[in-house]
Amino acid sequence: MNVRIAAMIVVLWPLVSWGQAGKPTVAIEQIATAAQNISCEGWDRSSEGWDRSSYDCNADLSEGFRVMLETAIIKTGKMDVMERRSLELLLQEQGLGATGLSDAGGDMGGLIGVDYLVYGTITRFGQLQGGFSFGGIQSKELSVSMGIDLKVTDVSTGLILIADEIAETVQVGSSFSFGDVTQAQTRADPFAEVQRVVSNHIAEAIVTTRIPVKVIAVQSNGTLVLNYGDVLFSPGDQLAAFVVGETFVDP
């Protein structure tokens, strides 16, 4: 049946999955960038104190997105995130290099204190422009696109749980002109917004792989209570509820 979520419901009941007690810990390795497809043209960060003549677009994008992803995972309330400095110290203690960790083919050597390792490469980032012109009429649209190849590895087994490409496009603004009349609209910071959208989608994919969305209660008025609140859902979202059947082994 189709269910419309009519209100934000934040559930405080703990849900433990896969037979482990407590929240799992995620470590996010430094996110790489495919430099040939990365462009920060139009990204005005002067208000944040950045000097465009000296800052490294790829490095800033990599670190900034990693921090956004940390925040998105923490906000779900389902997983803990190991702080980057703590991860670096742990790798040093175990004789592992940060860049060599994901290159080990999934063999983490029993990385203590970490359940899942997240790593990936930003494959594209930059502005896109479209529109048309006919006679005295001009219409333009500007958007920012971002794509990332992501992997999530189970440290205890070395198995890759998620290997996917996440891509999003956010419209920056639009303009329309006819003769002497011009109308334009722009977003405050579309470059940051597209990163936030992508990081939220990645966080959702990671936590729901470990802890699927479930109905944990049915109220007397028919409202279904889920094990996730406003972190993943908003009023008006439509979900399909179903009953899980028996498991079987494919012969």
* This prediction's pTM: 0.70
Query: Phi then psi for 161, rounded to 5 degrees?
Result: -85, -35
pLDDT of 164: 92
Comparing 62-71, 130-139, 242-251, the range with the smallest average pLDDT is 130-139
pLDDT of 227: 82
pLDDT of 4: 40
Higher per-residue confidence, 128 vs 202: 202
Average of per-residue pLDDT values in the chain: 74
241 three-state secondary structure: coil
On the 0-12 / 13-18 / 19+ scale of CB atoms within 10 A, 11 is middle
Find all residues with CB under 8 Å of 117, minimum gap 6, and list them. Answer: 26, 27, 29, 101, 102, 108, 111, 152, 153, 155
Q: Are 38 and 58 in contact (CB under 8 A)?
A: yes
Which residue reads 């742990």 in tokens?
A: 90
DSSP notation for 64-130: HHHHHHHHHHHHTSS-EE--HHHHHHHHHHTT--HHHHGGGTT-----TT-SEEEEEEEEEEEEEEE
Measure the CA–CA gap between 54 and 84, rounded to whole angstroms: 24
Whether pLDDT at 9 is above 50: no
Comparing 47-61, 68-82, 227-241, the range with the smallest average pLDDT is 47-61
Q: Which domains does the chain have, with CATH numbers?
A: 18-126+145-168+190-211 (3.40.50.10070)
Convert the pLDDT of each residue in 205-226 to its tens digit: 888 888 888 888 888 898 888 8
Helix H or strand E segment including 18: none
Q: Are 122 and 148 in contact (CB under 8 A)?
A: yes
Confidence of residue 104 (pLDDT cuts 50, 70, 90): very low
Percent of the chain with pLDDT over 70: 66
pLDDT of 165: 92
Higher per-residue confidence, 197 vs 182: 197
Confidence of residue 8 (pLDDT cuts 50, 70, 90): very low
Q: Which of 26, 25, 64 is nearest to 43 (CA)?
A: 64
